[in-house]
A and B are shown apart, each in its own frame.
Chain A
Amino acid sequence: MNNLKTTLGIVAIAFMILTVTSCKDGKKEQVNEETQSEMNHDNSDGHHDDDKNEMAMSGNGNGNSQSVLSDYFNLKDALVGDDNAKAKELGATIAKSFGNLDISKYTDTQKADLKDIIEDAVEHAEHISESDIDHQREHFKILSKDVTDMVAITGTESTLYEQFCPMYDGGTSWLSMNKEVRNPYYGSQMLKCGKVQREIN
């Protein structure tokens, strides 16, 4: 009889723990979302010295396609360097800069296209911010397409090179600021796989 009670007790406690932990998870997520939206907010109304330091090229602060590009190249470099943690961080960064992209100066068709690109890109960037490196690379492939399509509308201040690796996922391209090939899909495994496919001015 005593045994039965103990077993019952253990089962009940297990249930309790399950409930408590599941609630905790939910809360944590909420907090994350809040801080993220706060960060977005901060970013949209001011300059951030920290952000500037990380920029690989001179964007005009936030809301600008150049800052999306610089975040993209930083992310690409992290993947070239097989750096999963850094890529996670930069995935969150580019999600933010895409979200802040100011599209008001474009025509209606361009606005619609950009909106579409942004929505898609933010989703892939967010996935990059929470995935292992293989997944990051899968999402980076589509993100690269989004960024390339964005550049077709917004233009670029400096010359970009579209590079192509025939081996990754049936052939995959990405953008780089240098002619020299450094493959973000394979990293150190096959650093120089690929070729320059197109120059974008």
Chain B
Amino acid sequence: MKILKLIAIIALVALAGIQFVPAERNQNYTVPSTDFMLVNTVPEAIQNKLQVSCYDCHSNNTQYPWYNKVQPVAWLLEEHIKEGKAELNFNEWDSLSNRRKKSKLRSIIKQIESGEMPMDSYTIIHRDATFSETEKQEIIQYITQLKDSL
């Protein structure tokens, strides 16, 4: 019992300690001219959906939830965001060539179709980020049309 107590105290101290390690922040208040919404005419409903469901991890600006202030959660989130942006960054859309755009659009369609994106670990907290069946169809239709126009 004594040992357990000791471990608990050490863990608590460590937990308190890591709260002082600052986390990087993915926050920018300007939207670059290469942004997906700026270079394409995206219907408003789809704009909103992309913003809510995708932009947190696929752009340079994340709407952070309150628990991001708590370590080690903040680190985990930052890792996700980094990976997400490496895969696709809507803010830098227009810097891609047509070939790359088509590739990305194809992947977006596949990911949404199969329900892999938005991720379960994201939608479990961001309930409004989930796609209804109709929203799914709408967005896939729009992205497909965009892909075919390139």
Contacts and interface: CB of A to CB of B under 8 A. Distances in A.
Nearest to B71: A19
B79 A13 contact: no
A13 B5 CA distance: 11
A120 B103 contact: yes
A149 B98 CA distance: 14
A26 B79 contact: yes
Interface residues of A, number: 23
Interface string B103-143: 10010001000000000000000000000000000000000
Interface in B28-77: 71-72, 75-76
B76 A22 contact: yes
A62 B75 CA distance: 40
A120 B18 contact: no
A25 B18 CA distance: 18
B150 to A, nearest CB: 13
B14 A22 contact: no
A123 interface: yes
Nearest to B75: A22
Range, interface on chain B:
20 to 34
Contact of A22 (B8, B79, B97, B100): B79
Contacts of A19: 18, 71-72, 75
A16 interface: yes
A120 B105 CA distance: 13
Interface in A1-44: 5-6, 8-9, 12-13, 15-16, 18-19, 22, 25-26
B103 A124 contact: yes
Contacts of B5: 5, 9
15 contacts: A8-B8, A9-B5, A9-B11, A12-B8, A12-B11, A12-B12, A12-B14, A13-B11, A15-B11, A15-B72, A16-B14, A22-B76, A22-B79, A120-B99, A123-B103
Interface of A: 5-6, 8-9, 12-13, 15-16, 18-19, 22, 25-26, 116-117, 119-120, 123-124, 138, 142, 146, 149
Interface of B: 4-5, 7-8, 11-12, 14-15, 18, 71-72, 75-76, 79, 97, 99-100, 103, 106, 110
